Structure 1
Amino acid sequence: MELFGSSLESIYLTTLVVSAACMVLYILFGDIVDGVVEGVSFINPILILAFITFTSASGYLLELLTGVNSWLIGGIAAIVALLFTILFNVFILIPLSSSEESLVYTEDSLKGRMGRVILTIPEDGFGEVVIEGNSGTIAKSAVSLENECIKDGTEVLIIDVQKGVVYVTPHTREHLYS
């Protein structure tokens, strides 16, 4: 069957190449597109591109390998694409979007955590503290809460965080029991 003077195989193949190229561009420049469609939460461009890619790929393969009616091939290709797009969303996109959030920390989440001084904190000056956790190792500028000198290697307790600087106090086992 022909459509617009071209065979359906060539239309499916052209659509496949164009949608795959658009998907690569979306991966590179997706933040711009996300900003444009930010107010419309039900539109997910990657799912639309995936559906078009899956439809054109399955339509091309079915046209090439079978002698079934072209209308039936279009319907089968759409059903296959819908199924693959749903699986792609459920098993790849949703887990990726939730895992991204789990690695993020806020300044408030640092309060009350333990750290270790890696650059001595002088009186009325700045040093550096390293905080280790499940999300990785974080190094932050630090100031002594009581304006005292804290030597490197000292365990400290983070009391407050202001403008990216942690306010710390030396932590000893005695503080735990008093």
Structure 2
Amino acid sequence: MEALYWGCLIGGAVFAIVSLVLGDLIDGLLDGAFEMPGVDFFKPVVLAGSITAFGGAGILLTRYSSLSVMSSLILSLLIGIAAAMLVFFAYIKPMRNSDVSIAFSMKELAGKIGEITIPIPANGFGEVMIRFASGSTIQTASSFEQLPIAAGARVVVVDVVDGVLRVSEWDEDVLKEL
């Protein structure tokens, strides 16, 4: 029985070291092959932590306690399950909830309101700053109507062509008439 415990302990430790060193490479190659959709509790890191804790607890209980083999096995299993729960609730769940991205797609900028930071000539390029809740971005822009737009003017992004925002001057008076 002690050989099983040692195998679990060593296997879990090797998995931890390999995933630490080659984690991104392995994740790219396997592309989530071991993850079950909707079941976060069975992630590889949780299972590996559980197996490692099971092996370590089994070795300690076998060598340093007067428990029977069956009692040591059951207690080791319970310790492994407790370790899995600890890893899941202390690491996996908080990390899943903190996975927030502030990235945006250029196509999402269509319809956004911005401010010209570098004037746009009639047939040239300037820059527009668009503010988000998470910050702001400055992008290259050109005039949609082929008219010059002065710095400080409010504009609306009409569309995005080849990574350049095509903007039109924002006219509040036109909106009031509508």
Structure 1 gap ranges (5+): none
Q: Tell me, in whole angstroms, the C-alpha distance in 2 between the residues paired with 1:37 and 1:143.
A: 45
Structure 1 window deviating more from structure 2 (12-21 vs 146-155): it is 12-21
Q: Tell me, in whole angstroms, the C-alpha distance in 1 between the residues paired with 2:148 and 2:60.
A: 72
Residue 28 of structure 2 aligns with which residue? 32
What percent identity do the matched residue pairs reach? Answer: 24
SS at match of 2:67: coil
Q: Tell me, in whole angstroms, the C-alpha distance in 2 between the residues paired with 1:90 and 1:60.
A: 26
Per-residue CA deviation, residues 108-149 of structure 1 (Å, 9 max, x unaligned), is: 432222222223222222222222212332232222111122
Query: In the superposition, relative to structure 1, how do residues 152 and 25 fare at CA in structure 2: closer, same or farther (>3 Å)?
Result: same
Residue 96 of structure 1 aligns with which residue? 95
Q: Tell me, in whole angstroms, the C-alpha distance in 2 between the residues paired with 1:114 and 1:105.
A: 15
Displacement of 1:27: 3.9
Alignment of 1:160 onto 2:159: yes
* Equivalent residue letter for 1:32: G
Residue 3 of structure 1 aligns with which residue? 3
* Equivalent residue letter for 1:22: V
Alignment of 1:110 onto 2:106: no
Matched-pair contact (CA < 8 Å) for 1:20–1:53: no
Query: In the superposition, relative to structure 1, how do residues 122 and 18 fare at CA in structure 2: closer, same or farther (>3 Å)?
Result: same
Query: In the superposition, relative to structure 1, how do residues 39 and 62 fare at CA in structure 2: closer, same or farther (>3 Å)?
Result: closer
Residue 22 of structure 1 aligns with which residue? 18
Structure 2 gap ranges (5+): none
Structure 1 window deviating more from structure 2 (92-101 vs 131-140): it is 92-101
Query: In the superposition, relative to structure 1, how do residues 21 and 134 fare at CA in structure 2: closer, same or farther (>3 Å)?
Result: same
Displacement of 1:21: 0.7
Displacement of 1:25: 2.9
Per-residue CA deviation, residues 57-111 of structure 1 (Å, 9 max, x unaligned), is: 5445555664433543343333333344345335543453454355342334322
Residue 69 of structure 1 aligns with which residue? 68
Displacement of 1:168: 1.4
SS at match of 2:141: strand
Q: Tell me, in whole angstroms, the C-alpha distance in 2 between the residues paired with 1:16 and 1:122.
A: 63
Matched-pair contact (CA < 8 Å) for 1:15–1:56: no
Per-residue CA deviation, residues 24-68 of structure 1 (Å, 9 max, x unaligned), is: 135443532442728975774333333333434544555566443
